[in-house]
Structure 1
């Protein structure tokens, strides 16, 4: 499934986060800050140029079951993950 993060459209409660535009040294702090800002039931649609497996481990370790991650797209150069805040 292809998704173009340069056009942030979607239903209410889905907030785009394009990590490709954030300096690498700030990315994880910005991602965790964005996740902390979400209310239960909201989704952060995360876009990146690579599969962020270490980041996913960090998120799982820090948030546990509170954040659910599901891939929207998992293609070379275009990875899109929805992070849902559990209610």
Structure 2
């Protein structure tokens, strides 16, 4: 996989969010803050070291289907997910 989540917004307009650099106790709050900052149509590319299934359930509950989830990579030790914010 060639995406580098440490880079700022790429030329493709995708905002990276590398959860591996955020202390575990702050991760979900930081992720929700980042998702709340997106405008409809924008994408946040989320990188993590594990598949965040509880987080995905919380996102579904909180955003009621307005955040679309698309896996870019789903490998042990490296999970990359695109979160797309759709219009209300």
Normalised to the residue count of structure 2, the TM-score between the two structures is 0.90
* Cα distance in 1 between the residues matched to 2:80 and 2:70: 9
> In the superposition, relative to structure 1, how do residues 4 and 27 fare at CA in structure 2: closer, same or farther (>3 Å)?
same
What is the number of residues matched between the two proteins?
Answer: 85
Is 1:24 the counterpart of 2:32 in the alignment?
A: no
State the 4+ residue runs in structure 1 displaced beyond 6 angstroms: none
Take 2:66 and 2:17, find their aligned partners in 1: how far apart are those partners?
A: 19
CA distance in 2, matches of 1:54, 1:86: 21
SS of 2:72's equivalent in the other structure is strand
Q: Provide the C-alpha distance between the structure 1 equivalents of 2:57 and 2:45, rounded to a whole number of angstroms.
A: 17
Structure 2: runs of 5 or more not aligned:
none
State the distance in 2 between where 1:75 and 1:68 align.
20
Could you list the runs of 5+ residues in structure 1 that have no partner in the other structure? Answer: none
Provide TM-score, normalisation by structure 1.
0.91
Instruction: Specify whether residues 6 and 37 from structure 1 end up closer, same or farther in structure 2 by C-alpha distance, changes over 3 A only.
Output: closer
Distance 2:24 2:18 in 1: 12
- Contact 2:5-2:47 within 8 A present in 1 as well: no
The question of whether the paired residues in 1 share the 8 Å contact of 2:5 and 2:45 is answered with no
Residue 46 of structure 1 is matched in structure 2 by 46
RMSD: 1.3
